[in-house]
Amino acid sequence: MIAGYQNLHSHTPYCDGKNSAEDMIKAAIQKGGSSIGFSEHSWVSFDAEYSMSLEDTPKYISEINSLKEKYKDEIEIFLGIEMDYFTVEAPEGVEYIIGTAHHVMKEGAPITVDGSKKHIINMSDLHFGGDFYAMAELYFTTVADIVPKTGADIIGHFDMLAKHNADYCMFDEMHPRYIKAALDAMEQILDKCKLFEVNTGAMYRLGKTAPYPSVFLLEELYKRGGEVILSSDSHSTESLYFKYDEMQELIKSCGFKYIKRLTKDGFIDVAL
């Protein structure tokens, strides 16, 4: 297994995280991590509850830069942002961008596709006549445009719409309409960005048995020349580096020979 874990997808109370940045750093050190990156949710005007405020953004940047200096002899720290599709522009000074979509826009109104199982079912019923595949088609059409909209270096939780879909309880992820929407989006993204995170966040928080992207989509990503980086999408100290050893084996089983890792000199390949 790869020594010295890295997680670039971490959240604090600047948005919807539980623990302070310094507590996250201490936990990363205690767990044997060699680096950690912070990626607060960028400001979204119609969803202020989960995103970092414009007022807090410079405070966040200043704090992470101060912590980088404080802990420079113990762990490498990176300053990033999770850029939502509906954010106007990224703040200056970040070292990487995770591009994600938590909403879709239908008839000029934003619809949140990240939420509880009940919420997602309600949104499907209310806005798509109960047709989950229509919701998925709009979601993946949005995701397909994520690189030009966000400037993403990493594609975050690519198939997040399936977060509550354990055992296909909401819809069939092998349905032709779902597969076509997902693969069309993947191919459009790969023209501009090859790096997708293998994200264990929902495995920790919801007991999901597979990461984002799903195993099928990871296999398809490998066939199309995509690359992967491990992420625990941590909103708490407990979830840092969750199931990384298991995920490395899963990634290998999908055909990948290496994962990406961010260094001060940019992304490098690390053999599995």
For 58-101, the pLDDT digits (tens) are: 999 999 999 999 999 999 999 999 999 999 888 999 999 999 99
Distance CA 133, CA 181 (A): 9
Residue 1 domain-assigned (yes or no): no
Rounded to the nearest angstrom, the gap between the alpha carbon of residue 114 and the centroid of all alpha carbons in its chain is: 12
Q: Please list, residue by residue across 28-50, b when 16 or more beta carbons sit within 10 angstroms of its beta carbon and e when fewer do.
A: beeeebebbbbbbbbbbeebeee
Q: What pLDDT shows up at residue 4?
A: 77
Q: Give how many domains the chain has, as a whole number.
A: 1
Residue 135 domain-assigned (yes or no): yes
Residue 158 domain-assigned (yes or no): yes
Domain with 235 in it: what CATH number?
3.20.20.140
pLDDT, mean of residues 143-150: 97
Query: Could you list the residue range(s) of the whole structural domain that residue 48 is in?
Result: 6-271
Contacts of 111 (CB under 8 A, 6+ apart): 103, 104, 105, 123, 127
Question: Contact 78/97 with Cβ under 8 angstroms?
Answer: no
Residue 57 domain-assigned (yes or no): yes
pLDDT in tens, 221-265: 999 999 999 999 999 999 999 999 999 999 999 999 999 999 999
**Does the structure show a pLDDT above 70 at 166?**
yes
pTM (global) more than 0.95: yes
**Alpha-helical regions (H) of the chain:** 21-30, 57-70, 117-128, 132-144, 146-150, 176-190, 201-206, 215-223, 244-253
Count CB atoms within 10 A of the CB of residue 58.
12
Residue 106 domain-assigned (yes or no): yes
**Does the structure show a pLDDT above 60 at 183?**
yes
Is pLDDT larger for residue 48 or for residue 175?
175
Q: What pLDDT shows up at residue 147?
A: 98
Distance CA 135, CA 123 (A): 9
